[in-house]
Chains A and B, each alone.
Chain A
């Protein structure tokens, strides 16, 4: 690869070559400028926020109430809420998604596989706000039939529906990881007397497990960033509760709720939103990088794979 890039060490003399190279470089510059503007805007307001609120309070305070008389600026309650939703959603989605991925990759017939592919793709393209509607108007009332003590805004309904939303991510990427295991190895195992089940469970699954783990990390990244389902279904409580029948407030749902009021620029609440957004940026950026690294480990042709 390096050679292909450096093969044009001398600048091309053809004007067309120069023009296209310049245009593509311009696109890269624009994309980089947009990224820098996003990171810069969040960073600037966050730095201003930390001039008013000490970092120690942000990290150690046990209440997040920016608009109260005596405001609390501790990020921990919001992080706890996000962990609850992302963790709960993953626990709900993982077994179903993993079984489905193995089933579709190794067992399902052609017709079943194509129907299920379409269904998974459909689930993956439903907008979050529509899922939020589903959670609030169907899942919560249905769950109320099981637990009459369920609050109107609760964590369990949000977890279930966020789990449904991230299911396609796990299914699709885990299948890719399983599909990347060379078929010849599996055939050799069967030729040596292993059954199909052994080849799948003892050979393919362990060989693909980094990719599967990566798919779970990427799915959790989406769950951490999920805003609309949580805002609509889990309410906006100020306290922290680990009871799934009660409401949950996450980093994202705080942002959505805060923006519905009037945010005066320069106010402490305005700065608090940027600080929360910066935390979300760091968290999801890191999780995405980790997930992608894991996924491309099991994939020889992805960026970060053999070519780079």
Chain B
């Protein structure tokens, strides 16, 4: 091929790449836009009076906040603690590596499987019934491996020299971990925890399996109350084909997204302030 011909060819390749990229970006934006428009349009329609009188979201909202709290309080310390131990303390023997890989790869197991396990362990085994507590424990158990996996990655990307330098200056092991390693890995750890937590808040399948109610008459005030949450309420209304329910389901979806955005914003702010204070 002569030089001018090759140059023309390369121009064509570049134009094609750019055009394809634009199309892919357009498809992505269009899908997101359609999703938003469909939700908002449907949520704006008012359902029939007969349905709307018996379909508030207060109890589902309270349930979701309870579940988020329980999951965060249990899964974040346990998951981050385990990741720190596995990465910074445990000897690299075969047994410890096996445990680390099991805990990490459980992060790929879908929530619905944890729902089945939660049914056997918490609802039946511990006799908790389909309660907020059983739901919170199930979500915590499914969140721990995700927190372990992302925190391990964050800790592993901290340069080794940081540890050696601190040790060389006389720091103890915990001082190295607390003042150097955790501080360096904090933004990534918090990012991973937020993602795992938001995934748990939006999860409908495990709660459905352990028996979330699609209809409750009072808001849960303690962890022993019957399980209800925004994702399962969204599912219950989406699965009903009668007129009026699509509007309700869209309303529940928008509320769920709003709650998730709010939680995400709080965590983002935490990360930002944390990062600034530490630097």
Contacts and interface: CB of A to CB of B under 8 A. Distances in A.
Contacts of A25: 85, 89
A5 B90 contact: yes
B112 A227 contact: yes
A284 B108 contact: yes
B65 interface: no
Query: Which of A5, A24, A195 is packed against the most chain B CB atoms within 10 Å?
Result: A24
Contact of B14 (A95, A119, A196): A196
B187 interface: no
Interface stretch (A6-14, A56-64, A69-77, A143-151): A6-14
A289 B106 CA distance: 9
B160 A1 contact: yes
A39 B264 CA distance: 31
B17 A136 contact: no
B235 A291 contact: no
A225 interface: yes
A289 B81 CA distance: 22
Contacts of A8: 173
B202 to A, nearest CB: 3
Contact of A301 (B156, B201, B260): B156
B116 A255 contact: yes
B256 A130 contact: yes
B235 A228 contact: yes
Interface in B59-105: 77-82, 84-92, 97, 99-105
B103 A35 contact: yes
Contacts of B99: 28, 32
Contacts of B221: none
B10 A197 contact: yes
Nearest to A125: B198
Interface in A252-276: 252, 255-256, 259-260, 263, 265, 273-274
Query: Which of B25, B32, B178, B211 is packed against the most chain A CB atoms within 10 Å?
Result: B25
B20 interface: yes
Nearest to B194: A125
A12 B208 CA distance: 48
Contacts of A242: none
Interface residues of A, number: 101
Query: Which of A14, A128, A224 is packed against the most chain B CB atoms within 10 Å?
Result: A128
B109 A281 contact: yes
Interface string A225-264: 1111000100000000000000000001001100110010
A224 B113 CA distance: 12
B193 interface: no
A273 B77 CA distance: 32
Contacts of A6: 91
Contacts of A112: 25
A105 B119 CA distance: 44
B184 interface: no
Contacts of A5: 88-92
A34 interface: yes
A68 B121 CA distance: 28
A255 B17 contact: no
Contact of A137 (B42, B84, B121): B42
A30 B99 CA distance: 12
A225 B202 contact: no
B132 interface: no
Contacts of A289: 101, 105, 108
Interface in A1-60: 1-2, 4-8, 12, 14, 16-17, 20-21, 23-28, 30-32, 34-35, 37-38, 41-42, 44-45
A287 B35 contact: no
A103 B21 contact: yes
A285 B105 contact: yes
12 contacts: A17-B173, A20-B177, A38-B117, A44-B120, A100-B24, A129-B202, A132-B238, A197-B13, A227-B110, A252-B110, A255-B115, A265-B124
Given A41-B125, A137-B42, 12 more contacts: A4-B160, A5-B88, A26-B81, A34-B78, A37-B117, A108-B25, A126-B257, A127-B203, A129-B238, A133-B238, A287-B108, A289-B105
Q: Can you list the 3 inter-chain pairs with the closest CB atoms, starting with the nearest?
A: A225-B110, A288-B108, A103-B21
